[in-house]
Amino acid sequence: MKIDYYEKVFLILGVVMLLSGLTAILISVAGAGVMVPEPAGRIAPEEVRTTAPFDQPGVREISAGKYEAVIVAQIWSFSPNEIRVPAGSEVTFRVASTDVIHGFFIENTQVNAMIIPGQITEVTQDFDEPGEYLLICHEYCGIGHHNMWGRVIVE
């Protein structure tokens, strides 16, 4: 008899926990606007290095105070691995992978994205504070993964 009681309690607790988790997800999506970003475009991984703008990676000023950083992610490196922008800049990062899934994380910012072969990932960040921001790959991409890093220098 007591076993039935405890089973019911644990089943009810399980359902309550599942509903609590689902409620938290719904609140974050509806209330906070947390969403999975859509790809900014598609590109064949073998054509990344020959397709504009990825054929000339780097930083370009697109208007006053706004920059575009085009980055190619490949096994164990970002190209370029150093980005320099003035303080007070808005930088849009356009990143594509030539091989496997990579991560794109810039410390002390909201930039945290996955770079998936076949897709162009685009994220925008304001850099108001001068300093050096570490850029790392947070998705394991092979034996040299620990060497895949770069930096954003805000002057």
| Domain regions of the chain by residue span | 1-35, 41-154
From first to last of its 155 residues, what are the pLDDT tens digits of the chain? 577 888 888 999 999 999 999 998 888 777 766 566 677 888 888 989 898 899 999 999 999 999 999 999 999 999 999 999 999 999 999 999 999 999 999 999 888 899 999 899 999 999 999 999 999 999 998 898 888 999 999 99
Q: Which helix (H) or strand (E) holds 61?
A: strand 58-63
Provide the whole-model pTM.
0.75
Class of domain 41-154: mainly beta
